[in-house]
Amino acid sequence: MRWDETYTDPSSDRRKLLAQQMLFRPGTAVDFMRALPKAGAPGSVWNYSTGETYVLGAVVEAATKKPLSTYLAEKIWKPAGMKRDASWWTESTGGMTLAGGGLAATLRDYGRFGLVAASGGMVAGRRIVPDDWFSQAGAPHQIGGKQVDYGYMWWIPDQSDPINKDAFCAIGIFGQYIYVNPREHLVVVALSARSKPTSEARLQLNDFAFFAAVARALHD
C-alpha cells in the first residue's frame, strides 16, 4: 500500500494510524489500511510500512484463531525460558495485537529472543521454523529490481564488513536493537531511549559500527 512512515510528520500515514490506535476501538487499524491506495504490485516496490506489519499480525491471528501475544507465549516465550512476562499493545481490550510495535520486555529476555534467532529457530531443543528460514529472513532481498537491506521483518547491517556476514537486526525507532550474528555466536541488545524517533542513516551506521567492534573485540 502507499505509505509514509515519517514519525515526526503529523500528516504522515504512520502518525494518522497512531491517532487511530489512540481511539482504542477494535478494527481501526485494518480499516485504516484497507482505505489506502496501492503503491504497486506485491514485490515490486520497497516501502517500509508499520501499517502492513499490523496487517500481517491480523493475518496470523486469523490463521491461528488466537491473539498474537498468546501465540508468541505458546511458541517462543514460555518454551525459550523467558524470565519475565512481557506486554504487548492491543488496539482495544480484547482487540487485535498491534504487531508493528508496543512489545515491552526485559533486556535479558530480548537477549534470549535473539538467541532463538541466532540458533536458527531452536526453542527448547526443537527447531520451530524450517532449517533455512533464518538464512532467508536475515538476508537482503531484491525488490523492484533493487537490493534492499531488509529481510523478513529483520534489518540487514552493512554486509561489506566481513564481521557482519549473515548478521541481522531488529531495530526500534528510538535506538533499540537486537543485533544477531550467528557466525560470531553473538547477540547484542541495546535499549536506547533517544529523545526523538528517527531512521537517520548516520545514527544506524554508528550503531552498526559499535556492534561490529563488539564482535571483533571478542576475538582478542
Out of 58, 87, 105, pick the residue that ends a domain: 105
Nearest alpha-carbon partner for 60 in 48, 46, 74: 74
User: Residue 11 CB: number of other CB atoms within 10 A?
Assistant: 8
pLDDT at position 204, please?
A: 67
Same domain, 216 and 110: yes
Same domain, 132 and 218: yes
The 10s digit of each residue's pLDDT in 98-111 is 999 999 999 999 99
Q: What is the H or E stretch that residue 146 is in?
A: strand 146-148
Out of 105, 128, 144, pick the residue that ends a domain: 105
Region 85-98: what's the mean pLDDT? Answer: 93
Q: Domain range for residue 131?
A: 106-220
| Number of independent structural domains in the chain | 2
Residue 211: CATH number of its domain: 3.40.710.10
Instruction: Give me the sign of the Cα torsion angle 62, 118, 112, 162.
Output: negative
Mean model confidence pLDDT for the chain = 93
pTM above 0.85, yes or no: yes
**Side chain identity, residue 29:** A
pLDDT at position 200, please?
A: 60
Region 138-160: what's the mean pLDDT? Answer: 92
Same domain, 132 and 184: yes
Same domain, 92 and 110: no
205 — pLDDT class (breaks 50, 70, 90): low
Angle between helices 50-64 and 13-21 (to 10 degrees): 50
42 — pLDDT class (breaks 50, 70, 90): confident
Same domain, 118 and 156: yes
Region 167-171: what's the mean pLDDT? Answer: 96
Out of 105, 123, 156, pick the residue that ends a domain: 105
183 — pLDDT class (breaks 50, 70, 90): very high
